[in-house]
Amino acid sequence: MNGSDTAGKYTNGRKVLLLIGAAGLGVGIWTTTLRRDPFEGAQLDAPEALRQAAAGEITLVDIRTPKEWEGTGIGVGAIPLDMRRNDFTDQLLRLLEGDPGRPVALICARGVRSARLAGQLTDAGFSNIIDVPEGMLGSSAGPGWIRRGLEVVR
C-alpha cells in the first residue's frame, strides 16, 4: 500500500464523518425549527376560530409574514400581525386594549409557529392564549382554513 492509498482511505473516512455530521445537523435543525412544540393551553379548529372571532369572543391574529398573507389571503375575522416584528408584543397588547387576559387565538400556516409563540406569550404573562394548530394550510391537527373552504380576504 502506498501513501496515496492511505490518504484516500482517510479522505473517504472524513467524507463519511462529514456526511454523518451533516445529517445530524439537519436533524437538529428540523427538531428545533420545524417540529411542533407542544402547547398545553386551549386550542380551536379553524371553523370554531372563525365563529368565535365573528362573535367577538376572541381576537384572532394571523402571525404569518406579509408574503404569506399575499399568497393565500388572510382568514376573515383575523388581524394580520407579523410575529417577527420587534414590537409584536406591544402591538398585540394594543389589539387586546392593554389586557393580557383577553382571549387571543393565534394562527399561522401549519400550527408550528402559533404553538411556539403561544407558549412564549403564556410564559410572558398572557393568560388566555389559544392556538389554532391546523393553521391556514393544514397539519396533522386538521385540514386547515383554506382546505376547509373558509373565507379569506385578499
pLDDT tens string 64-92: 999 999 999 999 999 999 999 999 999 99
pLDDT at 131 over 90: yes
pTM for the structure as a whole: 0.77
Contacts of 37 (CB under 8 A, 6+ apart): 112, 115, 116, 119
Q: What is the average pLDDT value for the chain, to the nearest integer?
A: 85
Q: What is the pLDDT of residue 18?
A: 42
Q: For residue range 12-21, what is the model confidence (pLDDT) as tens digits?
A: 555 544 444 4
Q: Check residue 129 and report its DSSP letter.
A: E
Angle at 123 between CA 65 and CA 114, to 5 degrees: 30
pLDDT at 9 over 60: no
Q: What's the longest Cα–Cα distance across the chain?
A: 80
The residue among 68 and 27 whose pLDDT is bigger is: 68
Q: What is the pLDDT of residue 31?
A: 38
Q: Check residue 139 and report its DSSP letter.
A: B
Helix, strand, coil shares of the chain, percent, nearest 5, are 45, 15, 40
Element (H, E) at 16: helix 3-29
